[in-house]
Amino acid sequence: MTSNRGYDMEKALDVLKNVPKATTVTPAVGIAAAQTSLDMLVGAWRDCRKTALVEGTKREYIAAWRENRLKELENQGDALELYLKGTFLERAMIFEGLFGWLNSAVETGNDGLLEKSIDGILTVAGSSPLREAAAMLNAMKSKEVEVIDI
């Protein structure tokens, strides 16, 4: 006998007859074991779900911290660049003026102006814009500093 799907029904029944039958389990032991297994499975699922939620929250916190820190570093870099450009431009103008006075003092023989020009040059040369920039960055990091004067 052949079905309308193209397979022999008698052969299929013969194959099914030769399949070994499942062993039976004593109901009391089987139910208790099944209940224990189910409880373990549900407990493992709950632990897995809780861990997934905790780890997801940690990842979100880390991502937010990273973005915040990157923005902070970017702002510090921008401020440092602006500060150094302004400082070196200002120093260049000061040196230009001081050397102008120095040249004028040499040309006119004005010893007072010569001394003050040299003192000014040494004072400006002795100051360190990089040290001042480091102090500015430290002030930016400090929670106690509200305003930074530049």
The range of the structural domain enclosing residue 87 comes to: 26-141
Q: Residue 3 pLDDT > 80, yes or no?
A: no
Size of the chain in residues:
150
12 within some domain: no
> Comparing 69 with 147, which gets the higher pLDDT?
69
148 within some domain: no
Residue range 132-144: mean pLDDT, rounded: 82
Query: pLDDT per residue over 87-136, tens digit each?
Result: 889 999 999 999 999 999 999 988 999 899 999 999 988 888 888 888 88
Q: Determine contact, residues 83/150, Cβ cutoff 8 Å.
A: yes
Q: Taking phi first (over 0 means left), then psi (-120 to 50 degrees means alpha), and beta for anything else, what does residue 3 get?
A: beta
56 within some domain: yes
Measured in degrees and rounded to the nearest 5, phi and psi for residue 113 equal -65, -35
2 within some domain: no
> Comparing 74 with 149, which gets the higher pLDDT?
74
43 within some domain: yes
Look-up of token digits 């409880």: 39
113 within some domain: yes
Q: Residue 15 pLDDT > 80, yes or no?
A: no
- The token duo for 44 is 């493992």
To the question of pTM greater than 0.85 for the whole model, the response is: no
